[in-house]
Structure 1
Amino acid sequence: MTRSSGFKVGMGIVIAALAAIPKAAAQAPTLSVDPSRLPRLGTIDERFQSYNVEMVKVTGGRFWKPYRSSASAPSARGADNAENMPASANPDLYAYREPIDLSTRRLRILAAALAPAYLRVSGTWANSTYFAESDEPSTPPNGFRAVLSRERWKGVIDFARAAGAEIVTSMAISPGVRDAAGLWRSDQARRLFAYTKSIGGRIAAAEFMNEPTLAAMGGAPKGYDAAAYGRDFKAFVAFIRNSQPDVIVLGPGSIGETTASQSPPQSSSDFLRTRDLLAASGPGIDAFSYHHYGALSQRCSGIPGQTTPEAALSEGWLASTEQTLAFYQSLRDEFAPDKPMWLTETAEAACGGNPWASTFLDTFRYLDQLGRLARAGVQMVAHNTLAASDYGLLDETTLRPRPNYWAALLWRRLMGTTVLDAGVHKGIHLYAHCRRGVRGAVTLLAINTDRTNAAMLRLPAASERYTLSADHLQSADVTLNGRVLELGPNDDLPRLAAVTSPPGSIEIAPATIAFLTVADARNPACA
């Protein structure tokens, strides 16, 4: 994504945003918050903020075609790899990608800045990927659609080590891993785990398969149903318990039951309900995993479930993440009481994201989703993806950070693992955590989704303020306190400098996001 021409913020705008309150803003209701008295809600995993690298990016293959015409055409190898797509997929939606180079210095620097994290290597393509016995890629055997060479998997392990990430993955479940009776065999899984361990790697957690509710679309055998899933899942759990007892078993990893993005709808004969999957599989999961997309992207036009940029700051859009959580949480409570919730795949929209997924407009959804889910006790949120298609944190061609990456970096540096109750308020979305790495300190995340009106926040103590804004909401650039965020000449991360706000009222300008750290909060929950 090229930089917007002439993207500069004048000093007059900066001063106005950080100094005197305009007359219109003075009329806005003021919310008073005392960070020292915010009660503790709970804690989140230190790897709460995580990300996906799709299996198809590791192996090479056809993934969601970017909207940019310059990047949309497949390479000469594309035709040779056309089969490396989900079953029943429309080939016009995809473009071939060479395998991602996980040794790239910029990629490792940017990923390491988000450490610690979980690195999930999975996705629909993983369901039918063959793990090779040698380093040389080969044609996939019958019953598979792609090949994961040992060299490529070693690249994942090396990258995870360099990036301070723990690996999460899923198993192949296509016809190629089954015996004559159609039963899932652990041979492929056993080979993957054994090789990982032999080179000093570790798989921290695993799902049996990616999105079993869409099993037919994901490459499962014809006629695959909940009973078959239950039988296979039990075999998978037995394999893990017997040979990999330290691995966290995740499941079921469902999608498509709570929002307009469900495709095909629940009524489809191919759709498997999560309730039926859980009833058939019985106990065995260590954490309840699920996926959430609030909509389908424009690539999937013609299928119900699209959204618009005009709705991107609406409460209905932002609240969909809680609606999905509530649905799956109720099933967790019934079938796996007290197990932690993991959101192992989420982004702006399914099918690679909308064109505005790569702009500042989606940063509101990204940070609001993290705030809501942390407040609700979800332990892990894996953004899809790190660097692929329009919803990636990084541009997949240049690896230049997008607005959501800068938001992720601020969250990582400022928001600790202890979650505080900042309440639910009109006119502003407010979240609070103990400040990462500073005893007694509190960080507030204030998100003003109103496009025209400022919000007012009154704090009794001085705060350090980090305000994210853009000259227009669909900008590929984002500013921090009026300065464009960009990498240095040697891929150095910029200094994330705060502006000090004295005690009293603070204006949160329309359509902006502010992190406010209060070092002297002395909140006992943060001691």
Structure 2
Amino acid sequence: YWSIGNEPTLFANLFRTEYDAERHSREWRAHAEAMLAVDPSIILVGPDLHQYPGVPGQNPRDAAGRDWLETFLEANGDLIGIVSIHRYPFPRSQANPVVSRDDLRLNSREWDENIIPMVRDVTRRITGRDIPVGVMEINSSWANNQRGEATMDSLYNAIWYGDVLGRLIRQRVEMVAYWDFQRRDLSFGLIGGYQVRPTYYTFQLYKRFGTEAIMTYSDVPDVNIYAALRDDGALTMMIINLSAESATVPLTITGFDPAEEAEVWRLDAEHRAASLGLQPLESSVRVPGDSLTLLIVAPQL
């Protein structure tokens, strides 16, 4: 996989130069064709726009009013292998930098309702193809923030990201890259110096998640569930409680004959992706507030 350039939507301001969607598309194609001439097997990723909220009138445009994604696809839709965007929903402005729990709680739904459906619709309309989608940079904030209830180093950021990942799995996104892995002086990283931040443990839970997505539904407010089958036949279910209050979640499984017990893993204020051992699989699950709970259920023998 190869990406050419990064966040061209910012070039004009960063480099104090005239740079627009057409110039980017033209220069990107020249590089792409040269690279493909050397190795036709490479998969090209782009255009890596710095923000894409998936809302008409808010998606990035150049100084002439041209939509960056549409202009790119019109010029390069025949060469692109993965259509990529970046997304940092907060802060909404430098004048209002504080991010609250409610901001994050209400935000993750944008992936289902706006962003990924619009990227797919625009791509299909312009190229006539269903091209895989990648979110090649993501975090809750584009600006450094620390030690708040919903800052990037908080437990709630980890819960928010767990829900975002579940939605991206449901939307069958090809690639997702969290920004970033390690930062000592800023709060972006999963690791800060020798400190492991809570969102790191979201990955520790999801590494046990399955690879074959299963349809799920929850009607419990602020509680979402995502499921997938693993290669060993186990059913994995990620239950995410975005509320500060604990909740009892009804659990009904169809089309799968489960064993009587579930392996339980949890991330919350008291557990860091910790195993809670085997517990009876019942018709409901009690989950703490602000938590990710992973159930791993083997098939009935």
Distance 1:378 1:257, change over 3 A: closer
> How do residues 130-279 of structure 1 correspond to structure 2 at under 5 angstroms?
205-219=1-15, 222-258=17-53, 266=61, 273-279=68-74
Aligned position for 2:290 = 511
Q: CA deviation at 1:352?
A: 3.6
Aligned position for 1:80 = none
Q: CA deviation at 1:266?
A: 4.4
Matched, 1:420 2:214: yes
Matched, 1:384 2:179: yes
For 1:317 and 1:384, the matched residues in 2 are separated by 18
For CA contacts below 8 A with separation 6 or more, give which structure has more relative contact order. Answer: 1
Matched, 1:359 2:134: no
Aligned position for 1:27 = none
Q: Is the 8 A contact 1:448 1:455 kept in 2?
A: no
Aligned position for 1:342 = 134
What secondary structure is seen at the aligned counterpart in 2 of 1:455?
strand
Q: CA deviation at 1:455?
A: 2.5
For 2:12 and 2:58, the matched residues in 1 are separated by 12
Deviating beyond 4 angstroms after TM superposition, the runs of 4 or more aligned structure 1 residues are 262-272
Matched, 1:328 2:119: yes
Aligned position for 2:268 = 469
Q: Is the 8 A contact 2:134 2:173 kept in 1?
A: yes
TM-score (norm 1): 0.50
What secondary structure is seen at the aligned counterpart in 2 of 1:498?
strand
Please give the per-residue CA displacement for 1:205-257, whole angstroms capped at 9, x wherever unaligned.
222211222331354x7222222122212211211211132321011112334
Q: CA deviation at 1:497?
A: 2.8
Aligned position for 2:255 = none
Q: Is the 8 A contact 1:348 1:391 kept in 2?
A: no
Give the number of equivalent residue pairs: 285
For 2:54 and 2:123, the matched residues in 1 are separated by 18
Aligned position for 2:275 = 497
What secondary structure is seen at the aligned counterpart in 2 of 1:381?
strand
- Overall identity of the aligned pairs, in %: 22
Q: Is the 8 A contact 2:160 2:242 kept in 1?
A: no
Q: CA deviation at 1:402?
A: 1.1
Distance 1:209 1:272, change over 3 A: farther
Q: Is the 8 A contact 1:366 1:404 kept in 2?
A: yes
Q: CA RMSD in A?
A: 2.8
For 1:217 and 1:373, the matched residues in 2 are separated by 31
Distance 1:354 1:325, change over 3 A: farther
For 2:89 and 2:174, the matched residues in 1 are separated by 20
For 1:210 and 1:267, the matched residues in 2 are separated by 16
Q: CA deviation at 1:345?
A: 0.5
* Aligned with 2:102 (options 293, 297, 311): 311
For 2:182 and 2:291, the matched residues in 1 are separated by 25
Aligned position for 1:97 = none
Q: 5+ unaligned residues in a row in structure 1: which ranges?
A: 1-204, 471-477, 486-495, 523-527
For 1:218 and 1:245, the matched residues in 2 are separated by 33
Q: Is the 8 A contact 2:7 2:48 kept in 1?
A: yes
Q: 5+ unaligned residues in a row in structure 2: which ranges?
A: 253-257
What secondary structure is seen at the aligned counterpart in 1 of 2:157?
helix
Please give the per-residue CA displacement for 1:87-126, whole angstroms capped at 9, x wherever unaligned.
xxxxxxxxxxxxxxxxxxxxxxxxxxxxxxxxxxxxxxxx
Q: CA deviation at 1:317?
A: 1.2
What secondary structure is seen at the aligned counterpart in 2 of 1:465?
strand
Please give the per-residue CA displacement for 1:119-168, whole angstroms capped at 9, x wherever unaligned.
xxxxxxxxxxxxxxxxxxxxxxxxxxxxxxxxxxxxxxxxxxxxxxxxxx
Tell me the amino acid that sits aligned with residue 136 of structure 2.
T
Distance 1:466 1:282, change over 3 A: closer
Q: CA deviation at 1:514?
A: 0.3
Q: CA deviation at 1:508?
A: 1.1
Q: CA deviation at 1:267?
A: 7.6
Q: CA deviation at 1:453?
A: 4.2
TM-score (norm 2): 0.84
* Aligned with 2:243 (options 426, 450, 453): 450
Distance 1:319 1:256, change over 3 A: same
Tell me the amino acid that sits aligned with residue 390 of structure 1.
S
